[in-house]
Amino acid sequence: MSFRTKAKAKAKKAGKKPKPTRPGADSEGAIGQLADGLESQAQITPAEPDYGEPLTKVFTDGQYPEGEICEYREDNLWRTTNEEKRALERLHADEYNEVRRAAEAHRRVRYAVRDFIRPGISTTELCNLIENGTRRLIEEDGFKSGIGFPTGVSLNNCAAHYTPNAGDKTIVQQGDVLKVDFGTHVNGRIIDSAFTVTFDPRYDNLVAAVKDATNTGVREAGIDVRLTDIGEAIEEVMTSYEVELDGKTYQVKPIRNLYGHSIAPYIIHAGKSVPIVKNGDPTKMEEGEYFAIETFGSTGKAYVREEGVCSHYAKNPDSTAPAPMHVPRAKTLLDAINRNFGTLAFCRRYLDRIGEEKYLLGLRSLVDSGIIMAYPPLNDEPGSYTAQFEHTILLRPTCKEVLTRGHDY
């Protein structure tokens, strides 16, 4: 889930179009690309995703798989074999196992729905597939386990924070660039990971640029690393790519007012922001922290504004204000939010799902009073295209763990 605040690429020569891949193949290009045509894919796609069994029935010993393990470099290499640091990790074994369960649910859900992400699916149906799969695999249980934040399915120049409200009839089209951003959690340990889907190979370099940039950010992140240095490395990689659209060549540019972010228990946007451009921030990453390393690339102005109907919300963890007395519905709505979401992000569809009705005036009052924070859609200029990739990492005492790494990205 994106956060907005008030090194040259080696994989591919800039501007060169990769070869199209078969549907569902792992590649630098589109996930689920329709190279063989929509009709043939429709014939092989099952009626509904095969999510598999709930994870507790798969991992009967209660131990969940580690993510990708990366040794620290240079001045932190000593941590790898330090016995004191190993002992410290053993104290956090239960915490690590919880977040790995959330990460495994994320991987399995996105694998299961991949073949369903294609032109003709509605954004509402896609969100339902992802969220129902999450609820099944993670065995949703209030604050113990469930969805980490609303599923983002932002299209084209909309970079982030779009999920359909009730009655939204938006359909994914052949020429769309779709960002899929969803979260899971176990006991408040939130996993935040995102990927981009396209159906036209002309967007392949845009997708490749952002995927490469995110992997660069993951690689550069570590204990005592300055946030601005990560942003500088990301910017260098992303801007080395170009994409040709309708006979015009665009440099892929990082969206300078979007950030990655630290993650705290039950709080998706914690105190630190990870830039995707060099910004001079000397703040350092620290041992034990969780970060969402996400990058956004654009063919437009590379600057987003809040536009459109809001769907994403979260309780302000710093607010102690009571619900406004002049709007009675605000108090009952806040009570429902506290019972069902706490400080976890939610959307209007989730309020509908728990049976809340006629709540818009109360919700607006809570936002105006600063108790609830609103996150409207974030859009670059019309006609532009944006892409996103994101991983959650954990800076363990002995190593860096890329919790959300999978065979897809």
364 with 235, same domain: the answer is no
Per-residue pLDDT band for 4 (boundaries 50, 70, 90) equals low
Residue 211 resides in a domain: yes
Domain that includes residue 344, residue range: 312-375
Q: What is the pLDDT of residue 46?
A: 62
225 with 366, same domain: the answer is no
174 with 321, same domain: the answer is no
Residue 14 resides in a domain: no
Per-residue pLDDT band for 396 (boundaries 50, 70, 90) equals very high
Query: CB neighbours of 281 closer than 8 A, spacing ≥ 6?
Result: 226, 227, 228, 231, 273, 275
pLDDT > 50? residue 313: yes
Residue 27 resides in a domain: no
Asked whether residue 335 is marked as a ligand-binding residue, the answer is no
Mean pLDDT, all residues of the chain: 91
112 with 227, same domain: the answer is yes
Asked whether residue 92 is marked as a ligand-binding residue, the answer is no
Query: Which residues have a catalytic role annotated?
Result: 181, 192, 261, 269, 294, 390
pLDDT > 70? residue 33: no
Residues in the chain: 409
124 with 140, same domain: the answer is yes
- Mean pLDDT, residues 373-379: 98
Per-residue pLDDT band for 290 (boundaries 50, 70, 90) equals very high
Q: What is the pLDDT of residue 69?
A: 98
CATH code, domain carrying 117: 3.90.230.10
Q: Percent of the chain at pLDDT above 90?
A: 86
- Mean pLDDT, residues 145-150: 99
Asked whether residue 185 is marked as a ligand-binding residue, the answer is no
Question: pLDDT tens digits for 243-264?
Answer: 999 999 999 999 999 999 999 9
398 with 286, same domain: the answer is yes
- Using CA atoms, how far residue 177 sits from 39, 126, 375, in Å, is 20, 15, 21
Asked whether residue 269 is marked as a ligand-binding residue, the answer is yes
CATH code, domain carrying 364: 1.10.10.10
Residue 346 resides in a domain: yes
Report the alpha-carbon distance of residue 85 to residue 181 in Å, rounded.
Answer: 33
Question: pLDDT tens digits for 206-236?
Answer: 999 999 999 999 999 999 999 999 999 999 9
Contact call for residues 298 and 235 (beta carbons, < 8 A)? no
Q: How many domains does the chain have?
A: 2
Residue 72 resides in a domain: yes
252 with 353, same domain: the answer is no
Helix/strand/coil percent split, the chain, to 5? 30, 25, 45
Handedness of CA 327, 330, 332, 333 (dihedral sign): positive
